[in-house]
């Protein structure tokens, strides 16, 4: 779907509680900016979980652009709504990150300055990106289980607002020593089978995971039809635990024999222990899962990036 420059329409969705209510504060400026550049704007604020998804599903087809302001959870909901629309009816996705930690924005290399963000939306390049499907639920950029995933949705909003990424880091690192082994079997692209006890697993399309783990930017292509699969084995002793922590804090993941990084487009994860696995999808909980089928949906969303 190409933008009609004569009758441009934008759906604006703001999360009023994200990042010390920064998103709500940006609402007047966003409306003004878009209106000055020829857009007729329809504006909503979210009222609870799932509200943004419903707004997009109901009003997305009528618009050329959807802009959301909030954290990764808000972006997740908007993209879930967009995926309920036919591919040809999906507007271009614009993101004004205003949460406490914005991993998805970092992966998209969205600028920190509001004016630069809006400039990208007005005259940036439009590119395709992959998204994911977890069983029947769509997500934007990461699904994960284990040590760091609890940090993303158990850290209080107050802690997030005060400490930002540091809150996730402290919560995540401190949780390693307490987590029990999660026994699971992964089947990658129907071929490679990995079975072990893990403290962490992520299946992502991002350079940053949970505000804590950073992948080498050269490993991540957001439109290659594949996810990066990161596995951290359960440490048997303090020495192995120290190796994991050092590899994460020093950003030298491949230097640790307890950490594996692979690429795949279709992944099945089965819980082999007595308990099902609790997952996090873009920071939102998806609990009690015994079998997860994760698929890369190639070139499913179009978004704005800075012109090269």
Q: Tens of pLDDT along 120-134? A: 999 989 999 999 999
**Same-domain check for residues 92 and 214:** no
Q: Provide the domain count of the chain.
A: 2
For residue 86, the domain's CATH number is 3.40.50.10330
Shared domain check, 154 and 294 = yes
Task: Note down pLDDT in tens along the chain; length 308 residues.
Answer: 444 445 799 999 999 887 667 777 889 999 999 999 999 999 999 998 899 999 999 999 999 999 999 888 899 999 999 999 999 999 999 999 987 667 888 888 888 899 999 999 999 899 999 999 999 999 999 999 987 665 444 444 444 443 344 344 445 445 555 678 899 999 999 999 999 999 899 999 998 887 778 888 888 999 999 999 999 999 888 888 889 888 988 889 999 999 999 999 999 999 998 999 999 898 788 999 999 999 999 999 999 987 76
The CA distance from 68 to 256, in Å, is: 38
Verify that 274 and 183 share a domain, yes or no.
yes
| Residue 176 lies in domain | 142-298
Following DSSP, what letter does each residue of 87-142 receive, concatenated?
GGGPPEEEEEE-SS--HHHHHTT--SSHHHHHHHHHHSEEEEEEEEEETTEEESSE
In a domain, 107, yes or no: no
Residue 155 in 3-state DSSP?
A: coil
| Helical ranges in 112-237 per DSSP H | 114-123, 149-154, 157-163, 165-176
Rounded to two decimals, the pTM is 0.85
Is residue 21 domain-shared with residue 76, that is, in the same domain? yes
Neighbours of 176 (CB within 10 A): 18
Looking at the fold, whether 95 and 149 belong to one and the same domain comes out as no
Q: Residue 107 has which token pair?
A: 């992966």
Residue 275, SS3 per DSSP: coil
Residue 109 falls within a domain, yes or no? no
Give yes or no: residues 279 and 176 share one domain: yes
Which of 76, 99, 122 corresponds to the end of one domain?
99
Classify residue 33: in a domain, yes or no. yes
Two tokens, residue 267: 């992944």
Phi first, then psi, for residue 178 (nearest 5°) are: -100, -15
């Amino acid at each position: 779907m190409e933008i009609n420059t004569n009758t441009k329409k934008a759906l604006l969705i703001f999360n009023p509680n994200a990042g010390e209510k920064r998103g709500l504060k940006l609402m007047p400026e966003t409306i003004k900016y878009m209106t000055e550049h020829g857009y007729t704007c329809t504006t909503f604020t979210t009222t609870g979980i799932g509200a943004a998804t419903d707004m997009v599903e109901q009003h997305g087809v009528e618009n050329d652009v959807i802009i959301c302001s909030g954290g990764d959870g808000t972006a997740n909901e908007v993209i879930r709504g967009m995926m309920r629309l036919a591919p040809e009816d999906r507007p271009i996705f614009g993101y004004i990150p205003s949460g406490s930690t914005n991993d998805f924005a970092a992966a998209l290399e969205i600028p920190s300055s509001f004016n630069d963000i809006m400039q990208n939306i007005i005259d940036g390049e439009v590119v395709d990106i992959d998204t994911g499907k977890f069983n029947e639920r769509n997500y934007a950029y990461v699904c994960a289980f284990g040590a760091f995933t609890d940090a993303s949705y158990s850290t209080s909003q107050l802690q997030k607002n005060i400490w930002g990424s540091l809150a996730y880091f402290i919560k995540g690192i401190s949780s390693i020593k307490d987590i029990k082994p999660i026994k699971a079997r992964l089947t990658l692209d129907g071929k490679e089978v990995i079975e072990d006890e893990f403290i962490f697993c992520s299946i992502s399309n991002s350079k940053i995971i949970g505000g804590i783990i950073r992948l080498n930017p050269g490993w991540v292509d957001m439109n290659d039809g594949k996810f990066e699969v990161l596995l951290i084995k359960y440490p048997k002793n303090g020495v192995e635990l120290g190796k994991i922590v050092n590899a994460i804090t020093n950003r030298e993941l491949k230097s640790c024999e307890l950490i594996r990084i692979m690429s795949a487009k279709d992944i099945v994860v089965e819980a082999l222990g007595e308990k099902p696995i609790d997952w996090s999808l873009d920071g939102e909980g998806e609990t009690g899962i015994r079998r997860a089928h994760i698929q890369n949906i190639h070139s499913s969303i179009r978004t704005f990036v800075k012109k090269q």
